[in-house]
Amino acid sequence: MTGLRKAAILLVQLGRDHSAQIMRSLRDAEVEALTAEIARVESIDVDTLDDVLEEFQQLAKARKYYVQGGVNFAEEVLIATMGADRAHEVMQRLTASLVEMPFEFLRQVDAKLILSYLQDEHPQTITLVMAHMPPEQAAIVLSGLPGDVQAEVAHRLAIMDRTSPEIVKQVESHLERRLSTLVQANDFAQVGGLQPLVAIINQSDRTTERMILEGLEKRDVELAEQVRAHMFMFEDIVGLDDRAVQIVLRKVDSKDLAVALKGVRDDVREKITRNMSERAALALADEISILGPVRLKQVEESQAVVIRQIRTLEEAGEIVVSRGNSDEFVA
């Protein structure tokens, strides 16, 4: 769910008077966007409403602690009350809400329009802009670029680390003039890297994915393998259908599987054991318990074995893996 959608749901729950008071403190563009989104909110299920209100409460609490003692103090208090993982998530959202993100205006622009403005730009400029875009939007832009430019942009995105605010401002100003939109960039932004590239590729069609990976292999074989390894996480097994899991299990050695399952989430382990015979599941449980403590590197290596098998089966057309957030499948 987008932040705009959450804000609209929250305002609906606050009622007319409180919502009007909040709206008066917003910019005209924000008021217009929120008003349009509120108009689209018809019915909200109870679970969604509870999630939005809970997130708002957590952010409000985190902001209060932030004002009292800064980022470190806020995070320490949140860790003490809700645990490290949850506190980290809340602090990430708080940080994002405190800083106006570069290229935020692009979220409101049609991806095909962005493509028409970027396709003649230098790959370095295209990479910088795409690194700040949502994966779904960036995938459309990337798939519309010529094959050689796709590979160049993908490579630059994967190895990108930090970009100075001066460069960000220059690129933003260039797009501002062409799109007649005003934005600001206030601080250094860490963008790019493997994860944004993988997220973009996962939102792309299979043809685009293959072209990008083939282009990366020509430029940097090691980087291409890193991208392949990150494109399907071991925990993503829960998203496979039962038939696919059963086929994978027939191809994977039980020792590799036992090590791969050390320390994983319960739903991942349950997905595996549910697709085994009762006898095999018990044998696997015994093998896991006999292993004792296992180095994280060993676990990751065994998980990589399983992932490689999944990709091999996918390429052979024996299983299908869902891509992105769509309902489409590729063999």
What confidence score (pLDDT) does residue 32 get?
74
Tell whether domain 104-228 is in CATH 3.40.50.2300. no
Quick one: three-class SS letters along 53-120?
HHHHHHHHHHHHHHHHHHHHHHHHHHHHHHCHHHHHHHHHHHHHHHCCCCCHHHHHCCHHHHHHHHCC
Domain boundaries, the chain: 3-98, 104-228, 234-330
- β-sheet bridge partners, residue 189: 163
- What does the pLDDT average to over 231-250? 88
| pTM of this prediction exceeds 0.75 | no
| pLDDT tens figures, 136-184 | 888 888 988 988 889 899 988 888 877 776 787 778 777 766 665 433 3
Q: Is the pLDDT of residue 328 over 60?
A: no
| pLDDT tens figures, 282-323 | 999 999 989 888 888 888 888 888 888 887 888 788 988 765
Report the SS3 class of residue 277.
coil
Structure token pair of residue 283: 């044998």
Angle at 106 between CA 134 and CA 147, to 5 degrees: 65
104-228 and 234-330: same fold? yes
Name the CATH code of domain 234-330 (choices 3.40.50.11440, 3.40.1410.10, 3.40.470.10, 1.10.220.30). Answer: 1.10.220.30
Q: Is the pLDDT of residue 92 over 70?
A: yes
- What does the pLDDT average to over 45-49? 83
Place of tokens 């919502």: 19
